[in-house]
């Protein structure tokens, strides 16, 4: 298949980009691993569930309707269930390699003059004793079960960790009939006040969540953390404790909360695999872009959470700017002036930066991780082994820790355990340099070389 622009990811950023480029005359192919468009924020229930009121689980439904209807009326070719594992640079353009369907064994290629990366982000999960028990899920995972599967993860939940995502998760679960025993937020509300001006636009949204928490009688514990999840073969409760100003657990403040579900998350990280394998420059953990959302690799744009965690509104604005730029640049012209869009972008970015600074993971979270806690779930590597790699075997960087322990060598390739291993060892997080964004069957790799 040939196209002018391959947009990878059909969340808010990818949808806005695809529609902007299509409206300006490009042939656009939109590729996503999910069965429906929408990404994380507008995740839709599976069609077979025949949800009668899907909007009940969503904010900003009119925006979603506009995107959905725009896509249906556009010339965009939308490929669902396509898992992109690599984008290859060719002498002219790019080849997008994907695997089809849930089995992810059948290869498909899309040849494009340019690519736009809109692959979003994923949750940062930090380990603690008991976190591998059935009943412990990520906050976004609980949200995905609710929005995508119309199911709740349990009857009595604690929502914990840090970050603004905990609010929609707690209120969403409560509205769906789950008894939310507590919302345990590590951040200090005083920090939020410090970023007042940058967060002013978020106040109405925050007030709305506060009202919903009150209505559902959800107890909010700020500057608290979960120190242990309890249970034999599934979760029966958690111990939470207060944090001091330095982010250390205050001894004597522990309390037990019975629950069958713990939805836990510590903020989000951008997906950068495809950008990294294309050789795009990163700025810290995010893909670096200019004010047209161009990366430093000619013909590659990036938008949405892969360029920085900032919420759906920012992803939409960046996607639009990227789509407009790609349409113009592929025709050899400059994009139409977008002063208003750039102004709103800069406002949204400063409020995203303020949120990021206001919700750091607790500084001393690693103190709570006992040596027998599994850190890398794929390879079943404990915190003790990871610490031993540094303290006894002399590892001084993450790659050596990985080679000595196998932490990060499994199915997820360190996406889940990477931040935890960095935090436990004190090693500097480094780019992953994964050649592939997904596990790929050897037969597919062998055939990919044929005819080239």
Among 7, 11, 187, 278, indicate the residue that binds ligand FAD (CB under 6 A): 11
CB of 319 to ligand FAD, least distance (A): 7
Bridge partner list, 3: 112
- Decide if residue 379 touches ligand FAD (CB under 6 A): no
Q: Is 51 exposed, middle or buried (0-12, 13-18, 19+ CB in 10 A)?
A: middle
CB of 271 to ligand FAD, least distance (A): 6
Greatest alpha-carbon pair distance for the chain in Å reads 67
- Decide if residue 437 touches ligand FAD (CB under 6 A): yes
Of 344 and 370, nearer to ligand FAD (C-beta) is: 344
How far is CA 320 from its chain centroid? 20
Among 29, 83, 195, 352, indicate the residue that binds ligand FAD (CB under 6 A): 83
- Decide if residue 9 touches ligand FAD (CB under 6 A): yes
Among 135, 168, 237, 299, indicate the residue that binds ligand FAD (CB under 6 A): 168
Of 314 and 389, nearer to ligand FAD (C-beta) is: 314
- Decide if residue 419 touches ligand FAD (CB under 6 A): no
Of 12 and 153, nearer to ligand FAD (C-beta) is: 12
Q: Side-chain half-sphere of 226: how many Cα atoms within 13 Å?
A: 31
Residue 87 phi, psi dihedral angles, 5° rounding: -120, 125
Q: Residue 401: which of 416, 377, 417, 412 has the closest Cα?
A: 417
CB of 352 to ligand FAD, least distance (A): 9
**Scanning residues 32 to 71, which ones bind ligand FAD (CB under 6 A)?**
32-34, 39-41
Q: How far apart are CA 233 and CA 31, in angstroms?
A: 39
Among 4, 5, 6, 14, indicate the residue that binds ligand FAD (CB under 6 A): 14
- Decide if residue 120 touches ligand FAD (CB under 6 A): yes
Helix (H, G, I), strand (E, B) or coil at 156: strand
User: Which distant-in-sequence residues (6+ apart) come within 8 Å of 185 by Cβ?
Assistant: 160, 161, 162, 166, 220, 221, 222, 223, 224
Tokens 């925006």: give the residue.
63
Helix (H, G, I), strand (E, B) or coil at 181: strand
Question: Which part of the chain contacts ligand FAD (CB under 6 A), choosing from 116-124, 192-200, 223-231, 342-350?
Answer: 116-124
Separate counts of helices (H) and strands (E) for the chain: 14, 21
Radius of gyration, alpha carbons of the chain: 22
Q: List alpha helices for 130-283, DSSP H.
A: 139-149, 166-175, 189-194, 196-199, 203-215, 273-278
- Decide if residue 175 touches ligand FAD (CB under 6 A): no
User: Which distant-in-sequence residues (6+ apart) come within 8 Å of 135 by Cβ?
Assistant: 153, 154, 229, 231, 234, 235, 259, 260, 261, 262
CB of 334 to ligand FAD, least distance (A): 25
Tokens read off for 323:
């789509």
DSSP notation for 360-397? PPPTTGGGG--TTSEEETTTTEEHHHHHHHHHTT---S
- Decide if residue 123 touches ligand FAD (CB under 6 A): yes
Of 227 and 314, nearer to ligand FAD (C-beta) is: 314
# residues contacting ligand FAD (CB under 6 A)? 36
Question: Which part of the chain contacts ligand FAD (CB under 6 A), choosing from 7-15, 127-135, 191-199, 415-423?
Answer: 7-15
CB of 437 to ligand FAD, least distance (A): 5
CB of 362 to ligand FAD, least distance (A): 20
CB of 384 to ligand FAD, least distance (A): 30
Among 61, 122, 209, 436, indicate the residue that binds ligand FAD (CB under 6 A): 122
**Scanning residues 304 to 333, which ones bind ligand FAD (CB under 6 A)?**
304-305, 311-312, 315
Q: How far apart are CA 390 and CA 346, in angstroms?
A: 42
Of 57 and 395, nearer to ligand FAD (C-beta) is: 57
Question: Which part of the chain contacts ligand FAD (CB under 6 A), choosing from 138-146, 176-184, 239-247, 288-296?
Answer: 138-146
Helix (H, G, I), strand (E, B) or coil at 261: strand
- Decide if residue 119 touches ligand FAD (CB under 6 A): yes
Of 144 and 403, nearer to ligand FAD (C-beta) is: 144
Binding site for ligand FAD (CB under 6 A): 8-14, 31-34, 39-41, 83-84, 118-123, 140, 143-144, 165, 168, 268, 271, 304-305, 311-312, 315, 437-438
């Amino acid at each position: 298949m040939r196209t002018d622009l391959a947009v990878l990811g059909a969340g808010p950023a990818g949808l806005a980009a695809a529609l902007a480029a299509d409206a300006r005359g490009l042939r656009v192919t939109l590729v996503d691993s999910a069965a429906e468009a929408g990404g994380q924020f507008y995740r839709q229930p599976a069609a077979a569930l025949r949800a009668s009121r899907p909007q009940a689980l969503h904010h900003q439904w009119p925006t979603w309707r506009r995107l959905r209807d725009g896509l249906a009326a556009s010339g965009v070719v939308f490929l669902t269930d396509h898992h992109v594992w690599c984008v290859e640079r060719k002498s002219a353009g790019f080849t997008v390699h994907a695997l089809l369907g849930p089995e992810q064994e059948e290869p498909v290629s899309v040849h494009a003059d340019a690519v736009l990366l809109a692959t979003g982000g994923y949750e940062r999960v930090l380990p603690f004793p008991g976190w591998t028990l059935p009943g412990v899920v990520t906050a976004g995972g609980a949200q995905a079960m609710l929005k995508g599967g119309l199911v709740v993860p349990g009857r009595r939940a604690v929502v914990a960790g840090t970050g603004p995502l905990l609010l929609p998760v707690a209120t969403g679960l409560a509205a769906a009939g789950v008894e939310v025993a507590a919302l345990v937020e590590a951040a200090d509300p005083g920090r939020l006040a410090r970023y007042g001006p940058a967060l002013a636009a978020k106040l109405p949204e925050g007030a709305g969540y506060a009202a919903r928490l009150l209505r559902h009688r959800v107890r909010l514990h700020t500057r608290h953390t979960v120190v242990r999840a309890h249970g034999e073969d599934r979760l029966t409760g958690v111990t939470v404790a207060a944090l001091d100003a330095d982010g250390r657990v205050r001894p004597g403040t522990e309390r037990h909360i019975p629950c069958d579900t713990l939805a836990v998350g510590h903020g989000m990280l951008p997906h950068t695999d495809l950008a990294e394998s294309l050789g795009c420059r990163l700025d810290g953990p995010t893909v670096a872009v200019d004010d047209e959302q161009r990366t430093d690799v000619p013909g590659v744009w990036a938008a949405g959470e892969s360029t920085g965690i900032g919420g759906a509104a920012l992803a939409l604005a960046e996607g639009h700017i990227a789509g407009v730029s790609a349409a113009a640049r592929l025709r050899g012209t400059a994009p139409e002036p977008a002063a208003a869009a750039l102004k709103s972008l800069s406002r949204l970015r400063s409020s995203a930066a303020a949120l990021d600074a206001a919700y750091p993971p607790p500084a001393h979270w690693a103190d709570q991780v006992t040596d027998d806690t599994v850190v890398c779930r794929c390879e079943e590597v404990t915190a003790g082994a990871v610490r031993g790699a540094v303290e006894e075997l002399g590892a001084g960087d993450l790659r050596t820790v990985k080679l000595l322990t196998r932490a990060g060598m499994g199915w997820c390739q360190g996406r889940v355990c990477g931040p935890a291993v960095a935090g436990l060892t004190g090693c500097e997080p480094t780019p992953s340099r994964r050649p592939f964004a997904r596990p790929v069957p050897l037969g597919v790799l062998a055939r990919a070389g044929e005819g080239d």
